Every structure is written in C-alpha cells, then in structure tokens.
Structure 1
Amino acid sequence: MKVSYLTLIKRYIPILLIGIAISFASCEKTAPPPPEEEELPGEEDEPGDQSAKNQKVNEWVTEQMRVYYYWNDEMPTDNNLDFGLTPPKFFETILNEDDRFSWIQKADELNEGMQGVSTSTGMNIMLFAYENDTKVFAVVKYIIPGSPADQVDLERGDIFTRVDGTEMTVGNYGDVLEPYSSGESFNITLATLEGNVLTTTDKIVTLTSAKVDEPSVHYHSIITSTNGKKVGYIFYNRFLNNKVDEVFDVFAEFKSAGISDLILDLRYNLGGGIAVSGALSALIMDDYNKENVFVKYNYNDRLNQEFDRAGQSRDERFYDLYPALSKNLPDNPSEDELIAAAEAIETKIKAANLNLPRVFVLATDNSASASELVIHNLAPYVNVIHIGGTTVGKNEGSITIEDERKPRQIDWAIQPIIVKLADKDGDGDYVNGLIPDEEIDEYEYLPLSPIGSKEDPLILTALRIIDPTEATASLAKQMSILRNQTRQADFGLVEAFKKRSIKPVPVLLDRYQVNPAIIDQLKVHR
C-alpha cells in the first residue's frame, strides 16, 4: 500500500466532500421569494477590542487560504482586505466568484457536524405556496430516526400550516419558521390533504430540540417484485465515514438474501466523506478490484507542484481510501498499521460485495457532492441508472482547517474548497449537475408516499425497469391521479426556502495519510 497518496493533507485537516444544496426549478410554478433578511445579530462591524480579535482570526484564515484554497492565486492582496470585519463577513470577501461551497463556522459546531451531530428537532421539511401564492404549508420530507420528531410519531408526508399558532404566508414564513431554522423547540398545527383540498386540523404536535446523532442509513428493506425478484432498498442520507459499519451490515443482509437488484436512495443526501463513498461503490460493483482508481484530484498549482515534486500520485484507488474508515488507528500510524487497517476494511468489502452489473440511484436537486461522486465515478465500472432530477453539480472537495494549538487561540474553523474531482478517466465535468436517465419530480405527487414504499414514484420507476409487471394498471392510474391533483391545486414549491434551509454536511476523510516533510515545506501556521 502507498502510505501517502494525499500527502499534503495534515492529520488535523482531512479532506472532505461537502454537500450544500443549490436550488434548481422543479415545479411549474414557484412562490415569490420572502422579504430580504435582516443582518444577523453579532455580525455588525465592532470597534476596539473586537476589531483586534477579528483581525487575528482573519489573518489566520487568510494564511490558510493562500496555501490550500483552490482559487488561491485569485485572492485579493492583503492591502485590499478589511481585516477588522467579523470572520463570516471577511470570509465572503476572499471567496472566488465561482465558489459556491466554502464556508466558515465556529470550530466546535463544525466538528460536531462532522460526526453527524446537530441540535434540532430531527424534522426536515419543504414548503409549498397555495391560494394564489399567498399562503404556505409545510410537508415533512423525512424524520431522523431516534430524534424528538421521531418520538412524537411524525412521518414523511405529514403536513402543517401553523407554527406556534401562527399561520404561514409567503410574507412571514421566514420569521414563523425561525425556531425550525435555529434548531429550537416549537409546535405545529397539522393539516390534511384530500384530493386537492387542504384543511387545517385542530391537532397540535409539540417538537422539542435536542442533540441529534443522525445515522447514515435511515431505512432499508428487501422489496419483492410481482414476479418474485428480490430488490434491496436503502435510504442513505449521510456519507459518514465514522458510521460505515451501518453500510456493511445492510449490504451483508442484502447479500445473504440473494438480491438481484439494488435501489440506492440518495434523494436528499447532500454529501460527506470520500472514503465511505468509495466503500459504498466497492460494495455494489461487479468485478471489484481494490487496485482500481476511484477518484482523481486536481489541486491549486502550488499543491499540485508539491505532489509532483514529492513523486506522489493524485489518483486514489479504492484501497487507498480504507484507512480513513478505521476506528482503531493511532494519531501517527506506521505503514504496517495503515496496511492492517486497509486490509480489515477490504475484508469487510469482500464479504458484503453484491457483485451487481447495475444499480438504480434515486437522486434529485437535493443530492450533492459524495452522492454525485458515487453516481459519476461508479459509472465507468457499473451501469448506473439515475432516477429523479438533475443534481446540484458539486465536483469539488474541501478540508476542515482549524487551530490545533493548545489552548486553541482561534475558535473558528474554515471549510474551503481545495480540489476538483474526476473519475478514473479524468472526467469531472458536471458542474451543472448530473442529468437523470428517468426524470421524475416527487414534488408533483402529494401527499408524499412513505420512504421505501412501492407507491413512491421514484421507487416505482425503478421497479418498473427491474420487473415490467410491477406497474399494475391500477397503481399507474393512482399515481396519475395524485400528480394531476397536485397540479390542479396549483401548489408551488417555495424555492427560496429550499435555498436557505439546506446546510452543508461535513464528514472526515483520510486523516491518517501524512507526509510531514511536505507539510514542513508548506510552512503552514498551526
């Protein structure tokens, strides 16, 4: 095994694939955007001591960005920067106009997010406008298993029109949903949708807020088609390197059951670790070979030159990804320890590999980053049938950079884009998103069907290809009726809310592949 394929990356700034959703039109009609948001408290320019603290943080941020940032040679010169701004405002001033995904965040919050932990009710929603784009209702997209929302028996497809007693409109929904956006407790008033008639009920559900540790696998099942084909289904919502065992367990179950096909549901998966995306791909493919290249990297000129000078490849095989998935490696592992970690993961891959010549991937405009990497980089090896919508178009990777001094002197961390991604053939041109083979818009089918249900339009589309007898005339008619009802009711997806509400999802990768000699050459302030 080559120990240092990503040798430029310090142990404390592992490469990540981060997903952030960018809105694309997915309905015939959309509601008007909400009024412009006011500046957040605490982001005003501050005099005196605070300005000096800001300068210290911003100088540190600039130093890191000039080394690692993909567009580092296009950053403004120091004399054109205002180092007294608050870190979030300052960070915006140094980002390239082509950068949609880099961000800055308090370090502790970002590190929790890396492990799939966040403070919330565990409910994820979408909004629709109705009554001539004057009022708004919310539809539950999914509930995180084990979360407060799960404990009160909310389900995908549930609808509500009021929050804390206030009815949502296109003019106030941003303020009304502030507790939801901020991860606080609130209550909702449920509604029903019968045909195209929306009715608010008197049922109120109270949602508490808590630290939610999201699993990567929300749901899985084995679906038996009309003709008896066994189809594995997995709703995979986070590419969490630290929870790869969830994936191994599900695939081992699928293999034991002898499934003939797989439906991989990534419709809301905004990304995560490259390592687990490689492992997931390896578990699917036929003729799997650990030596095959999964991903190629292109950094900024300075980092590329350092790779070349050290004789280090910028290609990464499946096998090279596996140490990042180990939970038992020390901080500074030896080559033997890295090899042992990779071999342990390789053993699990072989034991659960499904050896499939094709896979059905459900992906939408809420699918990004590692989700797209699986679709795009698995395609040279396997027939990938993409069902749903055009994806976000994030062909870039980022790293977490934080202050490792003890005690920490900088309490912010940055998540800059540092690399462009490509498949084994060097193709990575999907900045405008991946176009589906079968285009299906679930927003046109209300109420939403349960996750894993045959009635779900994306799943049904896959099953009709797997087993053409699956789509009975009555079911097809039912789907058509649902679609027509939604259109006739003139419901419009509120795109502005989708843009603002979907947040990045960071996950660790390759924290153990280190080459101190190259790092010393870069002279990065720690």
Structure 2
Amino acid sequence: MRSTLHISKRSCLNWMCMAACLVVIQTSCKKDKNTRPDYPVGSNENINTWILDSLKRYYYWTESLPAKPNLSIAPKEFFTSIRSGSDRFSYIILPNDPASYPPSSRGKYGFDYSTVKELNTGQVIGVIRQVLSESPASRNGLKRGDLIRKINGKLLSEANAETLQAELLASNQVSLGLAELSGNSLVDTRSVEVSTGVILDQREISRILESGGRTIGYLNFDTFNPGLAGSLLNVFANFKGSGISDLILDLRYNGGGQVAEAAGLCTLIAGLPYDKPFITYRGNKNGGTRTESIGSAATFDGTVNFSTLLQNNLGLTKVYILGTGATASASEVMINNLKPYIQVILIGEKTRGKDEASFRIFDDRKPKLVDWEMHPIIYKLFNAAGNGGYSNGIGPDISVNELETLPLLPFGDVNDPLIKAALSRITGKTKVALSALKQDRAGAFKIGSVLTNTHLLATENSIVITHR
C-alpha cells in the first residue's frame, strides 16, 4: 500500500528537508520557447518532457539520461527506454488505471503462492504461502500451506507454471484445484473459485512463546504502512509487561514501505535516543548526501510521539529477524540499520536487495497537466556505520528454507522451521534442532526448484519510501 503526504510549495523547494514518507512534487518550470517546442497538453511529447525534466532533477542516475530521447512514444514505453541499465525498480503508473499497476495475486485475491517442483518425482504443485485475513481468499477457506494442483482446470506442470501464473494475475476470477499430500503422492480434495474483492487492512500477529525457560516475543506484520509504529505500542507494552528476554521479528514476506515506520520499530526494539544517526541518503548532484537521526526519521510525519516510543521500548541488545527473498525495502532498512547498535541475527534466506529509496513524483500544477505518477530511484541507503551496498540481498546467519518442510504452518507456530531455528538459537540447542529437522525431511516431499513466486514478483515494485 502506498500513501502520500501533501506539503506546501515552500516545502517543495527543499527536497532534502525531511525523510520518511511520500511527497508531492511540483514541476512547473517556465519553458524557453526559443529552445523548446510548446507541445499540446496531453500529447506524448508534452507528458514525456515532464517525465524527463523531473528525472533530470531527482533521478539517482540523472547523468545517464539520454540528451535527445524519442518524445513521441507512449509514456510508459518512454520511461522504460530512458531508465538506467543499473535501475531495477523504478516504475510509472496511471493512478486511475488499474491496468498500469504491477500485477499482484495478493492485491487481487488476497493470497500469494509459489509453484515448486519435487526433487525426486518431478511433480509440480503450487504452495500457498500467505493468505490475508478478510480477503476473497480467506473468505473462500484458503489458508497458508494449502496445495494447488490445478489452475483454471489445468494441471500444473513445469512447462505451464509461468503461463498459468500470468493467467491468474491477468484475470479477475480464478479456479484453484486443491490437493493434499499422502506420503509422496498428491490427492485431489476440492475446487475453489476466487474472485477479486475487498481486502481489509491487516493486523499484526503477536505471540508470547515459552522455550527453554525463556519468555520470547513473536511479531509478524505485513507492511511498513504509515502509523505502524503507533499501532504497535500496545503490542510492545505487552511484551515489556510480560518480561520477554528475546524478540523474533517475522519479516519473511514483508515488502517494506516507509522509512519512518522502520525507524519507529527500531526505537521500540532497541530504545535508541532521538539524536542517534539512523540513515544516510546519497542522491545525485542535486540531492547530495544527508544523514538523519532515528528520532527525526520516526516522527517527521507526526503519527507518533518519540517519548511514547521510548516508554514502550524493550531495550534489547539482540533481535532475531526471519527473512526470505520477499523481505525487501524498509524490512532491509531495519536489518541493516539496527546493526550498528545491536546484534541482528537473520534466519531464513537471502533478502531481496533493495538498498535504494524513492518518493512519488506527480504533477501538482493547477490545473494538472499530466496524470502519470513516477516512483523513480532517488537515493542509495546506508546505516550509521556507513554500510549499505546490499543490492544482492542480505545473507542469513542461519540458512533455512521453509519450503523444505511441508505443509507450511500458521505464522507463530513453534514448529514452523524458521521459528524453530530462532528458538533453537535462543535456547542454545541449534545443532540438536537442525539434526531433528533433517530427520523430519527424510523421505518427505522434497522441493527441487521454485518455478514461480507471486510474492517475489510483487516485490519488484516495492520501494523504500522516504521524503524529499
């Protein structure tokens, strides 16, 4: 989910004045009619000129922009044609045109799945990895761990896995043929029809776990939406009142969001003072370099009081974070930017690798002349120790692939392989637990390769959101 913060024109003149949310950009430079044609409003040339002018000012790779691009082509094609070859994540949309948005199984139906191939038999199945509450998927009885054998009546195979995923993402209704494992065999169970519909905001999942004589907090939330830190104050107050000694933060499918909320969560975990350096933004020649404190980052949008965050902080010196390839953006900011201050133990898989930030660029002229909105990369990100450069992902300290143990269990279940690995590390029984896990896998359905992953696809367009 994305949100915007509308600020005054005076604030717009100083694009480095804040740092934690989306912002409005006004690009109303006067044209020199002696050097630039006066293109008709609404024409590709007019829109693309606005795109190019905006990118020249804010784009991280502004020096790579072509001097004389083809302004006559469609805006989306134009934007793609002038992007830097180093740019993996910038995108452009029409806010009122759903077709211009990146496709998302989660956004349409409320679930994400991976198509996997079994190592020994070559069987192909879809594994539902997440089902959002109060979504079309949950209302039709789907749950995490369900297995998909057919999509729209077609048996999944290695040859058609990507085609059927594209078919699912392109339509507004899908038929899923479910199955369950009986030993190494798949047995068909039922068919489910799911249509697009309303998906409500997701609540966090929190638990108090007891293991090896220790009291451990577990927290899973879906995105770093505006107001997240404030909404979790009661959760952290409960953790604090319960006297937890350790915290497991489950970000395995968290695609990120606002820097402000990442800073707020770091404050609740570690209790860092207001003026501790938290994040450094490095932009182009116009943006320069700016370092921001954790207090400034956490409170700039006014959704939470920093003193309130400190009152509920856990004062931990260590945190266990669960991650996968779908852990991206602000989730990675938390992992990287806590490291100068406390020990961060990452469990699971290598993260997505989004060490870059953006803010939304759109036309704020009166009247508006361009409907398109851009989300270009504006900054590279670094922590208080000057460390960044994790574009290839952040590697785990303890490597665990949740798909190696089916069926997938509900979030917060102590037998979930990622949670089990964290509990084992906390209680000092890591070797024993890993040995038991290997025995559990013996003779089981073994994942040979992942063919498709809708959650990974969705993280292509989740960018760390900051301000100008």
Which bracket does the TM-score occupy, shorter chain normalised?
Answer: 0.7 to 0.9
Partner of 1:289: 273
The whole-number CA distance in structure 2 between the counterparts of 1:276 and 1:396 is: 16
Identity in percent: 30
The whole-number CA distance in structure 2 between the counterparts of 1:434 and 1:507 is: 15
The whole-number CA distance in structure 2 between the counterparts of 1:172 and 1:492 is: 15
Partner of 2:230: 245
Is the Cα contact below 8 Å between 1:157 and 1:449 reproduced in 2? yes
The whole-number CA distance in structure 2 between the counterparts of 1:193 and 1:50 is: 62
State the shift of 1:479 in Å.
5.6
Partner of 1:208: 195
Q: 1:420 aligns with which of 351, 364, 380?
A: 380
Is the Cα contact below 8 Å between 2:221 and 2:250 reproduced in 1? yes
Q: Relative to structure 1, is the Cα distance of residues 255 and 13 closer, same or farther in structure 2, using a 3 angstrom cutoff?
A: closer
Partner of 1:335: none
Partner of 1:121: 109
The whole-number CA distance in structure 1 between the counterparts of 2:299 and 2:13 is: 12
State the shift of 1:472 in Å.
7.4
The whole-number CA distance in structure 1 between the counterparts of 2:315 and 2:171 is: 42
Partner of 1:8: 15
Partner of 1:161: 149
SS in 1 for 2:187: strand
Q: Which ranges in structure 2 are unaligned for 5 or more consecutive residues?
A: 1-9, 24-38
Is the Cα contact below 8 Å between 2:112 and 2:455 reproduced in 1? no
SS in 2 for 1:107: coil
Q: Could you give the per-residue CA deviations for residues 116-163 of structure 1, whole angstroms, max 9, x where no partner exists?
A: 998411011111134989763211111112212122231111011112
The whole-number CA distance in structure 1 between the counterparts of 2:116 and 2:40 is: 42
Is the Cα contact below 8 Å between 1:162 and 1:168 reproduced in 2? yes
* Paired amino acid for 1:477: A
Is the Cα contact below 8 Å between 1:59 and 1:83 reproduced in 2? yes
SS in 1 for 2:230: helix
Matched ranges for 1:60-75 at <5 A: 60-75=50-65
Q: 1:441 aligns with which of 395, 398, 401?
A: 401
Is the Cα contact below 8 Å between 1:117 and 1:212 reproduced in 2? no
SS in 2 for 1:387: strand
Partner of 1:190: 178
State the shift of 1:495 in Å.
4.7
The whole-number CA distance in structure 1 between the counterparts of 2:442 and 2:294 is: 42
The whole-number CA distance in structure 1 between the counterparts of 2:20 and 2:428 is: 49
Is the Cα contact below 8 Å between 1:122 and 1:148 reproduced in 2? yes
Partner of 2:422: 462
Is the Cα contact below 8 Å between 1:140 and 1:158 reproduced in 2? yes
Q: Could you give the per-residue CA deviations for residues 292-337 of structure 1, whole angstroms, max 9, x where no partner exists?
A: 0110111101222xx7xxxxxx11001112344425xxxxxxxxxx
Q: Relative to structure 1, is the Cα distance of residues 388 and 196 closer, same or farther in structure 2, using a 3 angstrom cutoff?
A: same
Partner of 2:257: 272
Relative CO higher for 1 or 2, CA cutoff 8 Å, sep ≥ 6?
1
Partner of 1:231: 216
User: When the two structures are superposed, what TM-score results if normalisation uses the length of structure 1?
Assistant: 0.76
Consecutive aligned runs of 4 or more in structure 1 exceeding 6 Å deviation: 3-6, 10-13, 49-52, 131-134, 470-473
Matched ranges for 1:367-382 at <5 A: 367-382=327-342
SS in 2 for 1:417: coil
Q: Relative to structure 1, is the Cα distance of residues 375 and 250 closer, same or farther in structure 2, using a 3 angstrom cutoff?
A: same
Q: Relative to structure 1, is the Cα distance of residues 106 and 424 closer, same or farther in structure 2, using a 3 angstrom cutoff?
A: same
Q: Relative to structure 1, is the Cα distance of residues 6 and 417 closer, same or farther in structure 2, using a 3 angstrom cutoff?
A: farther
Number of equivalences: 441
Partner of 1:494: 451
Q: 1:504 aligns with which of 444, 461, 464?
A: 461
Matched ranges for 1:388-407 at <5 A: 388-407=348-367
Partner of 2:71: 83
SS in 1 for 2:408: coil
SS in 1 for 2:307: helix
* Paired amino acid for 1:107: P
Is the Cα contact below 8 Å between 1:270 and 1:504 reproduced in 2? no
Higher helix share: 1
Q: Relative to structure 1, is the Cα distance of residues 452 and 496 closer, same or farther in structure 2, using a 3 angstrom cutoff?
A: closer
Q: Relative to structure 1, is the Cα distance of residues 66 and 136 closer, same or farther in structure 2, using a 3 angstrom cutoff?
A: same
Q: 1:384 aligns with which of 321, 330, 344?
A: 344
Partner of 1:21: none
Q: Could you give the per-residue CA deviations for residues 426-472 of structure 1, whole angstroms, max 9, x where no partner exists?
A: 12122222111111111222221221111111111110121236997
Is the Cα contact below 8 Å between 1:185 and 1:207 reproduced in 2? yes
Q: Relative to structure 1, is the Cα distance of residues 468 and 496 closer, same or farther in structure 2, using a 3 angstrom cutoff?
A: closer
Matched ranges for 1:4-83 at <5 A: 7-9=14-16, 14-15=21-22, 53-77=43-67, 79=68, 81-83=69-71
Matched ranges for 1:319-338 at <5 A: 319-327=295-303
The whole-number CA distance in structure 1 between the counterparts of 2:279 and 2:315 is: 20
User: Which segment drifts farther, 118-127 or 166-175?
Assistant: 166-175
State the shift of 1:50 in Å.
12
* Paired amino acid for 1:142: Q
* Paired amino acid for 1:106: L
Q: Relative to structure 1, is the Cα distance of residues 147 and 349 closer, same or farther in structure 2, using a 3 angstrom cutoff?
A: same
Q: Could you give the per-residue CA deviations for residues 47-89 of structure 1, whole angstroms, max 9, x where no partner exists?
A: xx99972222211111100000001011111x2x121222221
Partner of 2:28: none
Q: Could you give the per-residue CA deviations for residues 155-175 of structure 1, whole angstroms, max 9, x where no partner exists?
A: 111011112222222333334
Partner of 2:29: none
SS in 2 for 1:230: strand
State the shift of 1:236 in Å.
2.1
Q: Could you give the per-residue CA deviations for residues 167-211 of structure 1, whole angstroms, max 9, x where no partner exists?
A: 22233333433453136222211100133222222x112212113
Partner of 2:26: none
Partner of 1:355: 315
Is the Cα contact below 8 Å between 1:387 and 1:439 reproduced in 2? yes
SS in 2 for 1:486: coil
2:89 is the counterpart of 1:101: yes
SS in 1 for 2:232: helix
Is the Cα contact below 8 Å between 1:397 and 1:421 reproduced in 2? yes
2:431 is the counterpart of 1:452: no
Q: Could you give the per-residue CA deviations for residues 78-101 of structure 1, whole angstroms, max 9, x where no partner exists?
A: x2x121222221111111111111
Q: 2:390 aligns with which of 420, 430, 442?
A: 430
Q: Relative to structure 1, is the Cα distance of residues 90 and 134 closer, same or farther in structure 2, using a 3 angstrom cutoff?
A: farther
Is the Cα contact below 8 Å between 2:113 and 2:126 reproduced in 1? yes
Q: Relative to structure 1, is the Cα distance of residues 108 and 133 closer, same or farther in structure 2, using a 3 angstrom cutoff?
A: farther
Partner of 1:27: none
Q: Relative to structure 1, is the Cα distance of residues 54 and 212 closer, same or farther in structure 2, using a 3 angstrom cutoff?
A: farther
Report the RMSD for the aligned CA atoms in angstroms: 3.4
Partner of 2:4: none
Partner of 2:246: 261
The whole-number CA distance in structure 2 between the counterparts of 1:87 and 1:403 is: 14
The whole-number CA distance in structure 2 between the counterparts of 1:396 and 1:457 is: 30
Q: Relative to structure 1, is the Cα distance of residues 507 and 345 closer, same or farther in structure 2, using a 3 angstrom cutoff?
A: farther
SS in 2 for 1:210: coil
* Paired amino acid for 1:93: S
Q: Which ranges in structure 1 are unaligned for 5 or more consecutive residues?
A: 17-48, 308-313, 328-343, 514-526
